[in-house]
Amino acid sequence: MTTTTLLSTFYHQPLPWLAIALAIFGAFTMGFARSGIGSGGFVVSPLLVLALGGTDGLAVTAVLMLPASFMGAWQHRKDSIANITKPMLPAAILGTVIGGLILWRLVTSGELSVVHYRIEILVSFMSLAYIILISFRNQIANRFKLKGTPSNTKLFGLGALVGISQTVVNSGTPLMTVFFLCYRITKEKFVGAQLMVLLAQNIFKLLPFVLLGILHFENATAAALLLPLTFLGSLLGNIFYEKASEKTFFGLYVVLLFIGFVASALLLVGRESILRLII
């Protein structure tokens, strides 16, 4: 197997060097953000769709989420709260099934160029929505000062929404972050719960991706080449998590929000239009 074959997902892009650079940054960021703040898809998903296009971007992001979620869940296994994770796990699986049906409708109803465009728009809109949600997290938490602990019904509903969003656009953790903040649950508790749910959901999510042909040998190979960067990011992200104050923790969130905003805004302009300007 030649190097060209291994790197075919990158070489087939209009600007291979840009695709590789964005993919390298995205792979590292996925690991760092997953272990450091328990999130990251709202940044990496638009970045990799911008780098590789709709279907390949979704597929590579989904694969990179596996080691990032595993490392994060292992690193924060003592922080997870069973009362939170138990209702959310089956709900996240249900949400994944629903999300798979949405993806099926999305990728089987038009020419490939139309499918890519639809994915770009959906990823950009959802990422921007999550950026706005996180940006106003304190105002939302102060507006909805929820007391006690969230009920199983609310946690189930949250898990289902996260499962749908994680399947369709590889993002959804801002929903959990803001939800837990409304209940005044600290990062030491909700990050562990998030990562346990995400690990199970990200494993199950591969099934619809493979069945729909979104994940295949070429883009899976590209993701495999990027995995060491994700592992490295996870190790450094865990160090950040252990040493960072609450202020620094959410400071990183702000930086990631900005990166995600730029990537999402570029997708709204149009991937092809942006690449034509560079070329």
pLDDT in tens, 66-111: 887 887 788 777 766 777 888 899 999 999 999 999 999 888 877 7
User: In the predicted model, is pLDDT for residue 163 greater than 90?
Assistant: yes
Angle in degrees, CA 204, 210, 211, rounded to 5: 100
Q: Could you tell me the pLDDT band of residue 38, with boundaries at 50, 70 and 90? A: low
Share above pLDDT 70 across residues of the chain, in percent, rounded to a whole number = 95
Structure tokens at 229: 């960067």
Structure tokens at 70: 């595993």
User: In the predicted model, is pLDDT for residue 1 greater than 60?
Assistant: no
pLDDT tens-digit series, residues 169-222: 888 888 888 888 888 877 667 777 788 888 899 999 999 999 999 999 999 999
Task: Please report where in the chains the tokens 């994700």 appear, as a residue.
Answer: 230
**What does the pLDDT read at residue 73?**
81
**What does the pLDDT read at residue 80?**
66
Structure tokens at 14: 């209009």
**What does the pLDDT read at residue 97?**
95
**What does the pLDDT read at residue 107?**
84
pLDDT averaged over every residue in the chain: 85
**What does the pLDDT read at residue 27?**
92
**What does the pLDDT read at residue 232?**
92
pTM of the model: 0.87
Tell me what the mean pLDDT of segment 26-38 comes to. 84
* Cα distance between residue 118 and residue 114, in whole Å: 6
Report whether 53 contacts 116 (CB < 8 A): yes
Q: Could you tell me the pLDDT band of residue 226, with boundaries at 50, 70 and 90? A: very high
> In total, how many domains does the chain have?
1
**What does the pLDDT read at residue 115?**
82
How many contiguous H segments (helices) and E segments (strands) does the chain have? 14, 0
Q: Which domain holds residue 28?
A: 3-278
Tell me what the mean pLDDT of segment 3-25 comes to. 84
Task: Please report where in the chains the tokens 């749910």 appear, as a residue.
Answer: 197
**What does the pLDDT read at residue 162?**
93
Residue 279, number of CB atoms within 10 A of its CB: 8
